[in-house]
Structure 1
Amino acid sequence: MRKTAPAATGRDIEFAWTPGLLVALAALCLAQLLETIDITVVNVALPALRAGLSFSAATLHWVITGYTVCFGGCLLLGGRLGDLLGHRRVFAYGTAVFALASLACALAGGAGEFVAARGVQGVAAGFVSPMTLALLAALFPEGRPRTVAVTVWGAATAVSGALGFVAGGLLVDGPGWRWIFAVNPVICGVVIAAVLRFVPASAPAARGRFDVVGAIVSTCAAGLLVYGVTQIGVRGGNSPDALVPLVLAALLLAYFVLHEARLAAHPLIPVRLFAVRTVAAANLAQFLISGAIYALFYLLSLQLQQTLGRNAVGTGLALVPFSLLLLVCAGSGPLVVRYIGFRGSIAAGGLLGAAGMLLLAHTVTAGDATRAVILPSLVVASGFALTFVPITVAAVTGVPSAQHGIASGLVNVTRTLGGAIGLAVIAAAASDRSDRLRGSGHTIGAALASGFRFGYQLCAVLPALAAVTALLLLRGEGRGRVRTPSPFPETAGPVSN
């Protein structure tokens, strides 16, 4: 498919953009878009899902959390399994499982069945998503071909938020929420056929074993933590339903650290990475900001429909400016970092994001969506956009080049698990505030407004803490010329197909 120069020159002799390569690139981007869009597409469907599957206000967030916890818990395991068994094979099987789980979501008759199917969807996505990048690395040589391919892949990921809101709204207000999931098997079938036809199979890239114990323990710990937090909002902090899962989560997390540091022959996460100050700061900031973003989308979707009277399509369209501004402003990240470094960029972005959250809390009773949601959310977007590139680059700064791949994967895990846990905490707190006020005689409108206000105030705390993290743990790193790191390990050699 491509020819490479002898090792003495290290240059590509020939590379041609064939129709087969274009189809393969489109299929891999479509697969990545499908895995990420399934996080945002359900936001506008939350009221319909609650009514159709009998979710309670306190458990509704599991529509998103059940997916993201399993997704984040399997990202590193999926990448390792692909190295051992072959990237194309893991991609094909993972996409097939995702299709079957999507069909189960579409056919679910109750909340429990639906959340279980969403969990399986998340597991499959955790195996597929790393394979899209690995297969791109195999197909496109370093230099301009790979840069173009990864840029297209990144653009597909970036637009998934806006596309998910619009597509979700159209499907919910059209044929119904079940079609959000019913269309996935068709798309997955097309993707699998294209990849099997145009992406050559290759031998496994590594030998050894994968850390199944670490993946299971970390995912179970995250799930128990999220469940325990939600039960605090439902039954109170002294309830066994809250305390038991929280204690079990703490024990599992402690064992996970011990397992990764001392017992695992091939650990998912080298614990020594966290001794690198920039890595620790970047992942903590990512965890906090992702928690705020996931919770923000959840609250905005419900507010637009429950208090502002928007239908699903109107809700999706109201959230599009937020996603587009994130995409546009994120490009300014490298320039900002060049002048004020990681520390200044993350701190400024976190504080601006926190200010936007407080503005949302202040305008929660405004009578129209523009003043209540759209304009304040743009302030949040402009702040969060400043943090994306600095966090990504800081996450591999100071890390040996041989570990850039695992460090990049780690920040993706932090992003998804931080979002899941932050959403669970804030959704439970906001729901509890509304329920208490309704129980004390307040009107539904006043109770909902107070719950949303409290939720946005809690959201503001997270990016503010991210700013404090940057100020305390980072120094002058990043000033000067900053390059966004490759998503592929630098030690990987050329792949022959």
Structure 2
Amino acid sequence: MFASTLLMTQFFAQAGLGQTLSILKVINASFHITNPRELSWLIAGYSLTIGSCILLSGRLGDYFGHKPLFVAGLVWYMLWTIISGLSIYASQYLFIVSRAFCGIGPSMCIPNALAILGRAYPPGTKKNILFSLYGGLTPVGVIGGATISALFAEFVWWPWSYWLMGCITAAVALCGYFAVPCCQSHYESLEPRPLLRDVLWATDVPAGPLDITALNQAVVVGWVTPYIPVLLVLGILFAIAFFHIEVNISPSPLIPFSILTGDVAFVLACVAAAWGGFRAYVYYFWTTMLIVTETPPLLASAWFSPPIPVGLGTAVLTGYLVARVHPAMPMVMTEACVLAACLLLATFPPGQTYWAQLFPSLILAPLGLDMSFPAAILVMSNAMGKEHQGMAMSLVNTIVNYSISLSLGIAGTIEQQVTKTKPEGPATVLFGYHSAEYFSCGIVGFGLLLSLVFVWRAQRESGLRMTRSASDVERIEP
């Protein structure tokens, strides 16, 4: 009950994305959205708030204790998921806002659930498998949420999918309250206890949200709108201020730069490239199915189901693999698989059968992604002490969610620019999707080059082996 309750947070985080993706066209019709480029905000706002609030949530968990933040995140997610369904009685703006606020819930749950797992299990096979299963639940959550929404949209009414998800979240929150034990936070053990303002010095710097808002809103209103470049410049200035405060002023830096070793930096960069490209792949897979080929949501959800067995199988394999090979090796495999999946989607011709390119891409994408996330969180968890487990998990998830929102914003801008002079029609829409998907290929291609440099660097280091011996594995067993 303890581990399964914590693992459910990843399911909810990804289901929140999938339940909107599969019924984009239905939501568009319900709210009478005339600008199809507004659809990206239905997805980007959710990931934006996860990425924006997750560092703060991890630090608050380290300060107040991880269980209160974990349970509070589930309750918050439940409330705003229910409001998302109720937005049918208002407008698409309430829906977009409610989805954005809903993302705060996973931002509270994810780092604190992972921190609880990180503190509960020492480095070893059991911890590796649990963290890998956490990553393996990504496709389960996306497809589970997509299927639930598609079923309700097809046979009942789509808002019921959000209300049902809210009820399920309430049940899990209740289980978490009783199944997860309380533990003293690191800051409670210090005498004197640091003031909260000293621990949270730079968390209110809104650099990422401003930049991502500018990139995604530019797709809707255009770059010539005055406030778009203003938001972008403000975001850059706030980012500079954030790093200045972190390095030179804050008595308790939000990001402990001392742990950002070469391995950690390479892993985070590779993860950002892979997830940025992958999420653009997921978005344009669904828009291609729903808008270009006009596939019914339920059938599209069935077509998107191969990642479930592949992802779970890869997660179990990764749990054993990360204890026996250098982190560079899973990163190379991750980037190669995601790049191949993106290329298959980017070259998908209209009228082609699902089995020719789409099905192989759905095998390759989770095969790569479910190696990267577990490897990254294990590297970060083992690099930080128990007092900073919340911070470690927050950093990985911040990188993942910011890369998702940034890639969607840039891909949407590319789609808009390459199609604005072309005649309207399905061919033009597909051309825009392909152009955006080629951008995601570029991101992942850069990640592949980076991971190969990672391998080369690892091999050059004195005495470093790319595989671990049996004695090495025994030493890290609990």
TM-score by length of 2: 0.83
String of CA shifts for 1:257-280, please: whole Å, max 9, x gaps. Answer: 112212222222123444x22222
Q: 1:298 to 1:273 in 2, by over 3 A?
A: same
Match of 2:312?
Answer: 327
> 2:77 touches 2:105 (CA, 8 Å); kept in 1?
yes
In 2, Cα distance between equivalents of 1:100 and 1:264: 34
Q: Aligned residue pairs: how many?
A: 455
- One of 147, 156, 163 as aligned partner of 1:175: 156
In 1, Cα distance between equivalents of 2:469 and 2:394: 20
TM-superposed CA distance for 1:166, in Å, is 2.1
Q: 1:168 to 1:372 in 2, by over 3 A?
A: farther
String of CA shifts for 1:11-32, please: whole Å, max 9, x gaps. Answer: xxxxxxxxxxx3x444433344
In 2, Cα distance between equivalents of 1:31 and 1:345: 24
Q: Does 1:43 align with 2:4?
A: no
In 1, Cα distance between equivalents of 2:282 and 2:402: 16
In 2, Cα distance between equivalents of 1:36 and 1:354: 21
In 2, Cα distance between equivalents of 1:162 and 1:111: 24
String of CA shifts for 1:62-85, please: whole Å, max 9, x gaps. Answer: 212111111122223222222332
Q: 1:234 to 1:163 in 2, by over 3 A?
A: closer
Q: 1:392 to 1:90 in 2, by over 3 A?
A: closer
Q: 1:136 to 1:349 in 2, by over 3 A?
A: closer
Within a 5 Å distance, the mapping from 1:23-422 to structure 2 comes to: 24-55=2-33, 56-108=35-87, 109-136=90-117, 156-157=137-138, 159-207=140-188, 208=194, 209=196, 211-212=199-200, 214-217=202-205, 220-274=206-260, 276-333=261-318, 341-385=326-370, 387-392=372-377, 399=383, 405=389, 406-422=391-407
Amino acid at match of 1:262: N
Gaps of 5+ in 2: 189-193, 460-464, 471-475
TM-superposed CA distance for 1:310, in Å, is 1.2
Q: 1:240 to 1:226 in 2, by over 3 A?
A: same
Q: 1:44 to 1:432 in 2, by over 3 A?
A: farther
Amino acid at match of 1:463: V
Highest RCO, 1 vs 2 (Cα 8 Å, sep ≥ 6): 2
Match of 2:191?
Answer: none
> 1:303 touches 1:452 (CA, 8 Å); kept in 2?
yes
Match of 1:476?
Answer: 458
Within a 5 Å distance, the mapping from 1:5-20 to structure 2 comes to: none
In 2, Cα distance between equivalents of 1:86 and 1:392: 20
In 2, Cα distance between equivalents of 1:75 and 1:93: 14
TM-score by length of 1: 0.80
- Bigger mean CA offset, 92-101 vs 446-455: 92-101
> 2:132 touches 2:318 (CA, 8 Å); kept in 1?
no
> 1:294 touches 1:423 (CA, 8 Å); kept in 2?
yes
Q: 1:95 to 1:382 in 2, by over 3 A?
A: closer
TM-superposed CA distance for 1:472, in Å, is 3.3
Q: 1:328 to 1:427 in 2, by over 3 A?
A: farther
TM-superposed CA distance for 1:159, in Å, is 2.4
> 1:279 touches 1:395 (CA, 8 Å); kept in 2?
yes
Between the two proteins, what is the percent identity of the paired residues?
20
> 1:75 touches 1:126 (CA, 8 Å); kept in 2?
yes
Q: 1:231 to 1:193 in 2, by over 3 A?
A: closer
Amino acid at match of 1:112: Y
Q: 1:340 to 1:467 in 2, by over 3 A?
A: farther
Amino acid at match of 2:202: G
> 1:337 touches 1:482 (CA, 8 Å); kept in 2?
no
> 1:106 touches 1:178 (CA, 8 Å); kept in 2?
yes
String of CA shifts for 1:410-455, please: whole Å, max 9, x gaps. Answer: 2222111111211221133224434542xxx35x111111012112
RMSD: 3.4
